[in-house]
Amino acid sequence: MKQVYFLIAILITGILSGCGKGGDRGEVVGAPSRSVRSEVPYGMAYIPSGTFLMGQTDQDITFAQIAQTKQVTIPAFFMDATETSNSQYRQFVNWVRDSIAITSYLNDPKYYVGANAKTPNANPTGKKYINWNYVKKYPIWNSRATKGKVNPNAAKLQSMMYQGDDRVFDRDEIDVRLLKYNYQKVDLRSAANYKNDKTKKRSDFILRDTVPVYPDTLVWLSDFSYAANEPMVQGYFSHPSFKDYPVVGVNWRQARAFTVWRTRYNEAYKNSIHQAKRADYELPTEEEFEYAARGGRIGTDYPWGGPYIKNAKGCLLANFKPGRGNYSDDGGTYTVKVKSYFPNDYGLYNMAGNVAEWTSSAYDPSASTFVNDLAPTFNYEAKKSDPEVMKRKVVRGGSWKDIGYFLQNSSRTYEYQDTAKSYIGFRCVTHFLGRDLRDTR
């Protein structure tokens, strides 16, 4: 009988030890980790891994004989289905605006984490973090709690407005020169290049940049001599009618700053629900852009196939400069909405035309000859002291002001990273962590 009780006791002990914490019974079962939810990020399309011939097709008689093609393989990734819109970029601008207003002008403890908590020591680290849920509930610029009354924050925020002779009709307008985003980003390529250098510290590979975030709206005039584009200057970014149009007037550094902010914005939400974060948002490499633009088609000139820029009914398939300058013939005199025309076979809109797009790649005319054939790209982090030739970034896709040649999948050009144009925008990618979604093994 004692033996029976002894066996029962051992059994109960084993069950309890297996159910409690540390119930691995001394076996290696792997470190605990956050849950991972398989999802396609909002507004993005899944681009499966694959290989393609990068460069001009044989039909391009002018360049096919002198430009090299190269077979490259691209891992799976997600890409924005559309160009970044004015509305999406304005969310970034507003976030920067509110952050500066709260930290530098209001200095009101109600807008920080823990200030409105019922439990003490809600923020034990002592660091101040903005409580964005509270900001959404009580907007600092037009608080619903004081509707019909004077905004209690108005006096403190007055310093963010244009002052003195910079005011027009004594209107309160935010001085957009104040809107700057400060961020840090690890330069992994430099870290890899110097990994055996004992004189280097981690801080040597952290990029720090402070970027004015408001778009240059004057590009609509500075890009064109003797053109009456004042209405576009006044309304393109700020008027609600243009909210679904692609943002322009954004230089390469501003586009990269947006990707960093978008990464942090999503990461904050993932942390709040205890889920693993996504891979960082980034600008696509030029190889990723061309691969995605082709939509899985082989040897085609344009995202919709080709070689023609009209369909069987004679309708133009993108927003560009038809003929000798009939800008309106394709349905848009300037830009059009980001979801215009038909998407390509990957579900991507306007991979040719509308606005040309920044990529993360540095420009070198012969880059295809020395980059790898697996996930290739040529990157260079230009310093302020570098000559202008080192600050060239690849631009892809062609724009509303370009002729049809620049809409080709293989066509590449460049612009300087500190330059903003009325015909250049961007879209983001985030890389796929895990097996290919097509892999059912």
Please state the φ and ψ torsions of residue 328, each to the nearest 5 degrees.
-85, -5
Q: Is residue 1 part of a domain?
A: no
Give me the mean pLDDT over the 379-401 stretch.
95
Which stretch of 87-101, 113-127, 279-293 has the lowest confidence by average pLDDT? 113-127
pLDDT at position 393 is 98
**Residue 303 is assigned to a structural domain of this protein:** yes
218 and 260 housed in the same domain: yes
Mean of the pLDDT values across residues 259-270? Answer: 96
Lay out the sheet containing 77-80: strands in order across.
44-47, 77-80, 429-431, 281-282
Residue 277: give its domain's CATH number.
Answer: 3.90.1580.10
Residue 96 located in a structural domain: no
SS3 273: coil
Q: Which two tokens stand for residue 300?
A: 């085609």
- pLDDT of the residue at 430: 97
Contacts of 245 (CB under 8 A, 6+ apart): 85, 86, 236, 335, 336, 337, 338
- What whole-number percentage of the chain has pLDDT above 70? 86
Asked whether the predicted pLDDT for residue 121 surpasses 80, the reply is no
How, if at all, do strands 206-212 and 77-80 pair?
A: unpaired
Helices 252-272 and 86-100, axial angle in degrees (round to 10): 70
Q: Are 250 and 265 in contact (CB under 8 A)?
A: no
Residues 230 and 333 in one domain: yes
How many domains are contained in the chain? 2
Closest to 357 measured CA to CA, from 309, 411, 276: 411
Residue 142 has pLDDT above 80, yes or no: no
* pLDDT digit string, tens, across residues 32-91: 877 676 788 999 999 999 999 998 765 555 555 556 788 999 999 999 999 999 999 999
User: Which residues span the domain enclosing 131?
Assistant: 102-178
DSSP label at residue 32: -
Which domain-ending residue is among 154, 178, 202? 178
Query: Is residue 27 a part of any domain in this protein?
Result: no
User: Which helix H or strand E contains 76, and what residues bound it?
Assistant: none
The per-residue DSSP string of 296-345 comes to T-SS-SBTTB-S-SB-TTS-B-SSS--TTT-GGGGT-SS---TT-S---T
- Which tokens go with 414? 């460049």
Residue 21: its pLDDT value, please? 54
Model-level pTM? 0.89
> Both 63 and 164 in a single domain?
no
Question: Is there a single domain that holds both residue 367 and residue 307?
Answer: yes
Least confident of 101-115, 196-210, 412-426: 101-115
Q: What is the pLDDT of residue 57?
A: 65
Asked if the structure places residue 29 within a domain, the reply is: no
Residue 163: per-residue pLDDT: 95
* Helix, strand or coil, per DSSP, at residue 88: helix
* Distance in angstroms (rounded) separating the CA atoms of residues 152 and 182: 28
pLDDT in tens, 329-349: 999 999 999 999 999 999 999
Strands 424-425 and 356-362: parallel
